Amino acid sequence: MSISELLEPSTTYSDAQIEEILADLNANVRGLQSLHVWASQQDLELARLTAGANLTYIRLAGRDEHGHPIVLMLLDHVWERAI
């Protein structure tokens, strides 16, 4: 196994799975505290969780079906996919 294979995330998310995650975020996460609670209750591996007054987003450790990173951002009180 190569170093790059070890570093690559093993989980691949379909577009439908990403939409389900976004729907769950929009239904359950409205603030910084609820994001931390939500993240602790999920079976998702997060590469990053940033929750501040001006910037709130999560990056999943996995990739989408096309190999792209998945960044979900809270913008104007709505969770959406940024990347």
Under the banding of pLDDT at 50, 70 and 90, the label for residue 1 is very low
11-27 pLDDT, tens digit each = 899 999 999 999 999 99
60-73 pLDDT, tens digit each = 999 999 999 999 99
The residue that leads in pLDDT, 1 or 23, is 23
The residue that leads in pLDDT, 3 or 38, is 38
Q: How far apart are CA 61 and CA 46, in angstroms?
A: 5
Instruction: Please list, in sequence order, all residues whose beta carbon lies within 8 angstroms of the beta carbon of residue 42, skipping any fewer than 6 positions away.
Output: none
Is residue 40 within 8 A of residue 25, CB to CB? The reply is no
Q: How far apart are CA 27 and CA 10, in angstroms?
A: 27
pLDDT mean over 47-60: 91
In terms of phi and psi (left: phi > 0; alpha: psi -120 to 50; beta: otherwise), the region of 23 is alpha
